[in-house]
Amino acid sequence: MSYNQNPFASSHSLDANPFDDPPAPQADARLEQLRQRELDLERREQELNAKAQHIREHGRKNWPFFYPLIYHDIAGLLPLISTNSPVSSRTTEEIPEASRPLVTRLYQLWLVLFATLIINMVACILILIAGSSDGGRDVGASIGYLFMISITSFLLWYRPIYNGYMKEQSLYYYLYFFFCGWHLIFSIYMIIGIPSTGSAGLIQTIQMFTGHHWVAAIFGLVATVGWILQGVGNTWYYRQIYAHHNAAGHTMEKAKTELASHGAKAYFTRG
């Protein structure tokens, strides 16, 4: 038996040199893995930065735009972040996705109401110029409506239902039902257009047409159409919200409990 054979020769000849370059396909695969990891880390860093930015900005007041007093988030009207952001838009929305179209329509109806109040005031001024004996009262009342109704409608029925869909608490739904119900009655009152009430509705508009005061008549007609549009629209969504309220199991007892637990402070907070 010969002992001249090197015992390490076989193993050395079979093992690859650890310092030799790996085969080309294996090297490409490793480079691709490194690239993918680098892209993943970069994407995660962008997401974290965007989320941090969102946390800093989410509580900022943004409505009304000319003098922000509250935070208001409605898709398509007040986007919080760019659509190119790596953060999903759902993370920036207060209203659940399924309810956002309805709440957005309610906000648009409030905008119609606000525009109608302005047109109604202009129509009343034109009615006064046309020689109406009750024109002074109409102008005074219409100016009061412009400021009072626009503010109270936003705070007393739009904002509660916005908070209702955001928090799903019974108290907000009952606030909405009460104050929006009164608003619907007021809309009927404004559609009629009784002289000296501050409404350029049907009666006043017909009087302007018969008196050939065309400009006042046209503005009165536009105001009447505005009252009808927002009234019918709010009635339609009032029914839908009532059905949702019943399906969600909201009750007056829950509303009383929420009021006792949170008080008025809950109205001004989010989350």
Domain boundary among 57, 73, 92: 92
Local structure of residue 264 (DSSP, 8 states) = G
Q: Which two tokens mark 43?
A: 């994407």
Q: What is the pLDDT of residue 261?
A: 82
pLDDT greater than 90 at residue 69: no
Query: Measuring CA to CA, which residue among 228, 226, 241 is closest to residue 178?
Result: 241
Dihedral angle sign, alpha carbons of residues 127, 129, 133, 138: positive
Residues 107 and 153 both lie in one domain: yes
Residues 198 and 88 both lie in one domain: no
In a domain? residue 36: yes
Q: Which of 1-5, 167-171, 181-185, 258-262 ranks highest by mean pLDDT?
A: 181-185
Residues 34 and 107 both lie in one domain: no
Cβ contacts of 211-215, under 8 Å, gap ≥ 24: 211/130, 213/126, 213/127, 213/130, 215/126
**Residue 89 pLDDT class (50, 70, 90 cuts):** very low
Rounded percentage of the chain residues whose pLDDT exceeds 70: 76
Average pLDDT over residues 237-242: 97
Q: What is the pLDDT of residue 17?
A: 56
In a domain? residue 4: no
In a domain? residue 201: yes
Residues 71 and 171 both lie in one domain: no
Residue type, 50: A
**Residue 246 pLDDT class (50, 70, 90 cuts):** very high
Residues 105 and 53 both lie in one domain: no
Average pLDDT over residues 34-43: 82
In a domain? residue 153: yes
Average pLDDT over residues 128-141: 95
d(CA 144, CA 140): 6
Give the mean pLDDT of the chain.
83
Residues 247 and 181 both lie in one domain: yes
Query: Measuring CA to CA, which residue among 144, 153, 147, 148 is closest to residue 179?
Result: 153
Domain boundary among 92, 127, 142: 92
Please state whether the peptide bond connecting residue 22 to the residue before it is cis, i.e. omega within 30 degrees of 0: no
Residues 259 and 189 both lie in one domain: yes
Residues 101 and 59 both lie in one domain: no
pLDDT greater than 50 at residue 253: yes
> Cβ-count burial of 102 within 10 angstroms (0-12 exposed, 13-18 middle, 19+ buried)?
middle
In a domain? residue 8: no
Domain boundary among 39, 74, 92: 92
8 A C-beta contact, residue 169 and residue 258: yes
pLDDT greater than 70 at residue 75: no
Residues 147 and 219 both lie in one domain: yes
Residues 134 and 241 both lie in one domain: yes
Residues in Cβ contact with 245 at an 8 Å cutoff, skipping those fewer than 6 apart: 170, 173, 177
In a domain? residue 7: no
Question: Could you tell me the pTM of the whole model?
Answer: 0.73
Q: Which two tokens mark 173?
A: 């739904």
The domain containing residue 127 runs over which residues? Answer: 97-268
pLDDT greater than 70 at residue 72: yes
Residues 207 and 125 both lie in one domain: yes
In a domain? residue 199: yes
Residues 113 and 209 both lie in one domain: yes
Q: What is the pLDDT of residue 18?
A: 52
**Residue 96 pLDDT class (50, 70, 90 cuts):** confident
Query: In total, how many domains does the chain have?
Result: 2
**Residue 22 pLDDT class (50, 70, 90 cuts):** low
In a domain? residue 5: no
pLDDT greater than 90 at residue 86: no
Q: What is the pLDDT of residue 97?
A: 85
